[in-house]
Amino acid sequence: MNNFRKIFTYATSSVCVLTSALYINDFVEKKSLKASWTTSYEPSVKWNFNWDRRNTESITKPKRRSSEANLTQNSEQNVVEKKSNDDFEIGKNTSKASRHLFLIRHGQYEINAKEKEMMILTALGREQAEMTGARLDEMSSRFKFNKLHHSTMVRAVETADIIRKKLPKDIPVHVDPLLCEGAPIPPEPPVGHWKPEFYQFFQDGSRIEAAFRKYFFRAPPEQLEDSHEIIVCHANVIRYFFCRALQFPAEAWLRFGLAHGSITHIVIRPDGRVGCRVLGETGYMPISKVTS
């Protein structure tokens, strides 16, 4: 009898150990799968897909309760009709194309001029604009530019005029004072060599933010093909746009620089994702021509 108890005890212990080992192994495998950065990683700051308030749910009108009640009867046909109507509404209000924005900083200008009207492009600034225009002309074999926007400041107007001559003659041109240079928001960390009055941030900041909301949004549902727009403006404006578009802290805009005539390419995807193809590109200019 004692021998039988010993055998039973050993057998039971073995089964328990084997079962525990299999359970632990299965747990570890599942744990390792769940620990993948693509499935369970928690970012410090999550991307806001509805940053432009244009996702499908935001622009789809809610249905009336009466029609909703009629469709929810215990009828298979009504259920099918409801699903079909829902799919139609979702498809009708879903963005289908990407918007490409090419942000161009103006060329070098007479920064020490006493009057704003005299802050015209230097000879080098005009040369930089020529090279940027030639670069965009090369890119037009891949991207069909739909529109050219520029601010009302002289250096941006001159730069845009030079660039436009390199592009198809039928490209629409839009002049916008919202795109003028200014102080978007107090930078962090602050700098000692540039200290605008706080009323300037108050005035310029709201205008530049308005410009961001005007130009940065996903394609409307009726747009079926990608669009490509050129915006000729200023360094502070572009840097602020970049931070806002990539959902970086807006106060970080002064932490990087942009050369004269540089190209920054931002892509806004249909699902609300935003990416930067290039930031301040000047590789098409000889190093001796690059200034900031």
pLDDT score for 238: 98
Max mean pLDDT range (30-34, 42-46, 49-53, 79-83): 49-53
Q: What is the per-residue pLDDT across 206-216, written as a single tens digit (0 to 9) for each? A: 999 999 999 99
Domain 99-289, CATH 3.40.50.1240 — does that match? yes
pLDDT of residue 81: 54
Confidence of residue 90 (pLDDT cuts 50, 70, 90): confident
**Between residues 86 and 200, the one the model is more confident about:** 200
Q: 0.95 exceeded by the pTM?
A: no
Q: For 101-137, how does the pLDDT look when each residue is reduced to its tens digit (9 = 90+)?
A: 999 999 999 999 989 899 999 999 999 999 999 999 9
pLDDT of 18 above 80: no
* Average pLDDT over every residue of 90-110: 94
Please check whether residue 110 is in contact with residue 118, taking contact to mean a CB–CB distance below 8 angstroms. yes
CA angle 71, 72, 74 (to 5 degrees): 115
| Better-predicted residue by pLDDT, 83 or 216 | 216
Confidence at residue 41, expressed as pLDDT on a 0 to 100 scale: 81
Mean pLDDT of 270-280: 98
Instruction: Work out the mean pLDDT of the chain and round it to a whole number.
Output: 86
Find the mean pLDDT for residues 231-237.
98
- Beta-carbon contacts of residue 249 (< 8 Å; ≥ 6 apart): 188, 243
The Cα 200–Cα 198 span in angstroms is 5
The band of 32, judged by pLDDT with boundaries at 50, 70 and 90, is very low
Residue 60: band (very low, low, confident or very high) from pLDDT cuts 50, 70, 90: confident
Domain assignments of the chain as residue spans, ordered by start: 99-289
Residues 245-260 have pLDDT tens digits of 999 999 999 999 999 9
Percent above pLDDT 70 for the chain: 77
Name residues whose C-beta falls within 8 Å of residue 219's C-beta, 6 or more positions apart in sequence: 95, 96, 97, 98, 99, 226, 227, 268, 270
247: left (phi over 0), alpha (psi -120 to 50) or beta: left
